[in-house]
């Protein structure tokens, strides 16, 4: 049995998705011995890597819900944090498009709901005005509602920036640690045992385990929610599609899902999706014929010209959906345990507010957290991956990934960073390398060779040999 640390941690955050990373970041700003445990080999590699990448105002949340409150708060926190950390945000705005009278009739109710959520900037417009805003929209739009503050954000750099700053400030990051069991000891600590036998002790545990949050919750001795993954398939179109729209095109939502949207991405692409299928397998991130065909049919109606452009990527993400309509947050004093469960697709926006909430809940059950002085803290600035921001290739340096214009220096930096990439997928999220229209036809071998030279592992490792 190997022990990760001789001394118990004050707080162990379980789950290195965007929420867990945000919690670790905030805790690292306090005089605490903090660790972030992630089951995969990298942060942001589960649900967080495959979402619709929107910084939500929360205009359509259920008024009075925890989610509504935290999305609204998280929006401001993340919007303000992003530029300094190198997280690309584009203030595109969004427009909900109504395609029939029934949908049109729902818009005033949505505007009222937005107002109840404290968002008063919506504007209902007619069909002509919608087409004026978005000339490439398909025929038949009857009207719309403009939501000027729905922005787009880089979903990959967000958890990475959080984790990097947390680690820079002393948080220990342990990857490949999948919690198998938890046991409360007499000394008031919790012992977490990993699937591989490693053990860690903590005075307080924060559950940010996402899809596996219900299992950790039960391992901690509690019940109350079950995660049923909701799979969302997405299609990403080539950068030539970016000029077809100015802002995110949202459907009129249903109770089940926000529906299929067409959104620009900060990487300069256009995204179509997601689908919403409730499934049982928490690792089933494959795409399906029916899902893709359905998305294309919807895309053809919303933005017909989109279908003439090449597809650069197809992927599926799993949201940690539960039977409950709201986040499942709870604090348990006897167990020294805070649960951030059932965080759905809004978790990216809410992440920093969830961190505040977690800290408040922890202090509520006995954690003493003294804020470290600002001069003791190390901020982090990563290179923005945003197409609208300055990119390293523009100031010279040889390009390795030509489609995404990624330089050799960026590859080397990503594999030698404080929170380094461990595989090609991690490298893609840190640099955009091999994420472009050729998907590695021109560059995959050179990218793998550079990564291997930089970190000393074999090319076979970077090629994903098993």
Partner 1 sequence: MSRPEVVIIGGGPSGLSAAIELRKRGVSRVTVLEREQQAGGIPRHTAHAGYGLRDLRRVTTGPRYAAALVRSAEKEGVDLRTGITVTSIADLPDGLKADAVVLATGVRERPRSARLVPGDRPAGIHTTGSLQQFVTLHHQNVGRRAVVVGAEHVSFSAVLTLAHAGCEVAALTTPHARHQTYAALAFAAAGRRRIPIRTGVDIAEIIGRTRVEAVVLTDGSRIECDTVVFTGDWIPDHELARTAGLAMLPVAKSPVIDSGMHTSQRGVFAIGNLVHPAETADICALDGRHVATAVLDWLTIGTWPEAVVPIEVEEPVAWASFDARGIAVRVSEIVTGQLRLTHAGEVQWISTEREWLPNRSITIPTTEMKASRFPYAGPRLRIDVIR
Note the residues at the interface with partner 1 (CB under 8 A).
Answer: 235-236, 240, 283, 285-289, 291-292, 296, 308, 310-315, 393, 398-399, 402-403, 405, 424, 437-442, 444-446, 448-449, 459-460, 463-466
CB of 459 to partner 1, least distance (A): 5
Closest CA to 61 of 253, 264, 261, 245: 253
**Cβ neighbours for 40, distance < 8 A, ≥ 6 positions apart:** 16, 46, 175, 176
393 DSSP β-pair partners: none
Shortest distance, position 455 Cβ to partner 1, whole Å: 16
Select 124 or 296, whichever has its Cβ closest to partner 1: 296
Peptide bond preceding 274 in cis form (omega within 30 of 0): yes
CB 103 within 8 A of CB 142: yes
CB of 159 to partner 1, least distance (A): 19
Q: What is residue 326's three-state secondary structure?
A: coil
* Closest distance to partner 1 from the beta carbon of 458 (Å): 9
Q: Tokens in use for 205?
A: 């545990």
DSSP classification of residue 378: -
In angstroms, what is the minimal distance from the CB of 8 to partner 1? 33
Our CB check for partner 1 shows the closer of 91 and 464 to be: 464
Give the nearer residue to partner 1 in terms of CB position, either 74 or 440. Answer: 440
In angstroms, what is the minimal distance from the CB of 294 to partner 1?
12
Q: Which of left, alpha, beta for 153 (phi over 0: left; psi -120 to 50: alpha)?
A: beta
The distance from CA 213 to its chain's CA centroid, rounded to whole angstroms, is: 16
The residue among 5 and 439 lying less far from partner 1, judged by its C-beta, is 439
Q: With respect to partner 1, which residue has the nearer C-beta, 8 or 291?
A: 291
Say which residues have a Cβ less than 8 Å from residue 353's Cβ, sequence separation at least 6.
69, 70, 71, 73, 74, 77
| 3-state secondary structure (DSSP) of residue 26 | helix
Q: Which residues of 413-447 are buried (b: 16+ CB within 10 A; e: fewer)?
A: bbbeeebbbbbbbbbbbbbbbbbbbeebebbbeeb
Q: Distance of alpha carbon 307 from its chain centroid, rounded?
A: 26
222 versus 240: smaller Cβ distance to partner 1? 240
Least Å from the CB of residue 198 to partner 1:
21
Q: CB of 423: closest distance to partner 1 in angstroms? A: 8
Tell me whether residue 71 or residue 316 sits nearer to partner 1 (CB atom).
316
Q: Please, what is the angle between helix 18-28 and helix 347-364, to 10°? A: 50
Cα–Cα dist 20/104, whole Å: 39
Q: Are 13 and 207 in contact (CB under 8 A)?
A: no
- Residues 454 and 278: their CA atoms lie apart, in Å, by 41
Minimum CB–partner distance for residue 267 and partner 1 (Å)? 14
Q: Of 143 and 232, which has the nearer Cβ to partner 1?
A: 232
C-alpha distances out from residue 225 to 143, 217, 232, 283, Å: 39, 9, 21, 19
CB of 405 to partner 1, least distance (A): 7
Q: In terms of CB distance, is 188 or 441 closer to partner 1?
A: 441
- Closer residue to partner 1 (CB): 235 or 331: 235
Let me know: does 174 contact 200? Beta carbons within 8 Å: yes
Alpha-carbon distance of 351 to 464, in angstroms, equals 31
Residue whose CB is less far from partner 1, 22 or 411: 411
Residue 253 burial class via C-beta count within 10 angstroms: exposed 0-12, middle 13-18, buried 19 and up: middle
Give the dihedral sign, CA 234/243/254/62.
positive
Of 18 and 236, nearer to partner 1 (C-beta) is 236
The nearest distance, CB 403 to partner 1, in angstroms, is 8
Q: State the nearest-atom distance from the C-beta of 315 to partner 1, in Å.
A: 6
């Amino acid at each position: 049995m190997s022990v990760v640390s001789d001394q118990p941690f004050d707080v162990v955050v379980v789950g290195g998705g965007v929420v867990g990373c945000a919690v670790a970041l905030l805790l690292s700003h306090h005089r605490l011995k903090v660790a972030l445990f992630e089951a995969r080999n990298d942060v942001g590699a589960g649900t967080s890597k495959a979402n619709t990448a929107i910084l939500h105002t929360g205009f359509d949340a259920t008024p009075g819900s925890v989610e509504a409150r935290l999305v609204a708060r998280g929006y401001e926190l993340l919007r303000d944090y992003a530029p300094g950390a190198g997280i690309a945000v584009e203030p595109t705005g969004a427009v909900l498009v109504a395609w029939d009278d029934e949908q049109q009739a729902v818009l005033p109710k949505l505007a009222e709901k937005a107002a109840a959520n404290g968002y008063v900037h919506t504007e209902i417009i007619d069909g002509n005005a919608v087409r004026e805003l978005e000339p490439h929209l398909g025929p038949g739009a009857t009207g719309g509602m403009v939501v000027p503050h729905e922005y787009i954000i880089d979903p990959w750099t967000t958890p990475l920036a959080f984790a990097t700053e947390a680690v820079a400030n002393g948080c220990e990051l342990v990857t490949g640690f999948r919690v198998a069991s938890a046991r409360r000891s007499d000394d008031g600590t919790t012992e977490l045992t990993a699937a591989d036998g490693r053990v860690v002790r903590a005075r307080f545990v924060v559950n940010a385990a996402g899809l596996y949050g219900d299992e950790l919750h039960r391992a901690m001795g509690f019940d109350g929610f079950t995660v049923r993954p909701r799979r969302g398939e997405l299609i990403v179109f080539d950068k030539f599609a970016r000029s077809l729209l100015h802002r995110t095109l949202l459907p009129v939502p249903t109770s089940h899902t926000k529906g299929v949207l067409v959104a620009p991405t900060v990487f300069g692409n256009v995204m179509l999706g997601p689908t919403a299928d409730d499934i049982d397998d928490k690792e089933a991130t494959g795409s399906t014929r029916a899902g893709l065909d359905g998305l294309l049919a919807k895309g053809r109606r919303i933005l017909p010209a989109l279908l003439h452009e090449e597809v650069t990527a197809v992927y599926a993400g799993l949201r940690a959906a539960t039977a409950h309509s709201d986040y499942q947050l709870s604090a348990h004093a006897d167990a020294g345990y805070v649960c951030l469960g059932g965080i759905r697709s809004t978790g990216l926006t809410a992440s920093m507010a969830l961190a505040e909430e977690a800290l408040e809940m922890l202090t509520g059950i006995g954690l003493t957290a003294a804020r470290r002085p600002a001069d003791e803290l190390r901020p982090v600035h990563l290179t923005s991956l945003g197409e609208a921001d300055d990119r390293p290739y523009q100031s010279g340096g040889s390009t390795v990934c030509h489609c995404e214009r990624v330089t050799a220096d960026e590859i080397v930096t990503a594999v030698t960073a404080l929170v380094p990439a461990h595989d090609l997928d991690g490298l893609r999220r840190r640099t955009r390398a091999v994420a472009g229209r050729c998907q590695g036809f021109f560059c995959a071998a050179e990218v793998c060779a550079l990564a291997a030279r930089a970190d000393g592992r074999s090319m076979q490792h970077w090629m994903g040999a098993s």
